[in-house]
Amino acid sequence: MSDLRLSTKDIAYLGISLAILEASKLALDLLPNVEAITLLFIVYTLFYGRKTIYVAVGFTVIECFLKGINVWSVMYLYIWPLLIVLVFIAGRHKAGRVFYCILSAFFGLFFGLFCSIPYLFIGGWSMAVTWWVAGIPYDIIHCVSNFALCLLLFKPLCAIMRRVTSEWQ
């Protein structure tokens, strides 16, 4: 799956991956800032490469259908592709599990900062900084939960993906 062209099999596997993303999001919605999306995007990018961008766009579209369009919709259009690009670059350098755990943690810690960007255009620096600072306690929860989930589930998810993608080829 190196280029961006999609075969029927690609569409099926990416669709199943998108369904897993959505199911994990809905399953963890009751817990503030605890999500498996970051981990799943990391794992998907390692196995699907750039085609993971289709999953990110699909995820954003489905979330908009489920929850409506708001400022977060704009955030999702750049925040998940940013993670995919970071993982794609790291994957080319054969980064290991510890790296992805740390990346996942930092991504959670700075999620609010990344998401404050639209507020620069809506209300200026003061609104963006205020919005970010108000969310720091949730970003800390996001950081810790991302790290823990990645530490616990990265290897098993990669083992599953190795098996699935080997059968796929």
- In tens, the pLDDT along 106-148 reads 999 999 999 999 999 999 999 999 999 999 999 999 999 999 9
> Does any domain span residue 110?
yes
The residue range of the domain holding 29 is 8-168
In the chain, how many domains are there?
1
> Does any domain span residue 2?
no
The size of the chain, in residues, is 169
Mean pLDDT of the chain: 93
Residue 45 per-residue DSSP state: H
CATH of residue 28's domain is 1.10.1760
Strand, coil or helix: what is 46? helix
> Does any domain span residue 161?
yes
> Does any domain span residue 156?
yes
The predicted model gives 60-73 an average pLDDT of: 93
- Decide: residue 74, CB within 10 A, 0-12 exposed, 13-18 middle, 19+ buried: middle
Which residue carries 């810790």 as its tokens? Answer: 144
- Closest CA relative to residue 104, chosen from 76, 142, 53: 142
* Alpha-carbon distances of 153 from 9, 46, 118, rounded to whole Å: 25, 14, 32
In whole angstroms, give the CA distance from residue 150 to residue 154. Answer: 5
> Does any domain span residue 69?
yes
> Does any domain span residue 3?
no
- In tens, the pLDDT along 45-57 reads 999 999 999 999 9
> Does any domain span residue 155?
yes
> Does any domain span residue 1?
no
pTM score, two decimals?
0.93
Neighbours of 82 (CB within 10 A): 12
Q: Given this model, what pLDDT does residue 66 score?
A: 93
Q: Given this model, what pLDDT does residue 95 score?
A: 84
Q: What phi, psi does 93 have (nearest 5°)?
A: -100, 10
In whole angstroms, give the CA distance from residue 138 to residue 130. Answer: 14
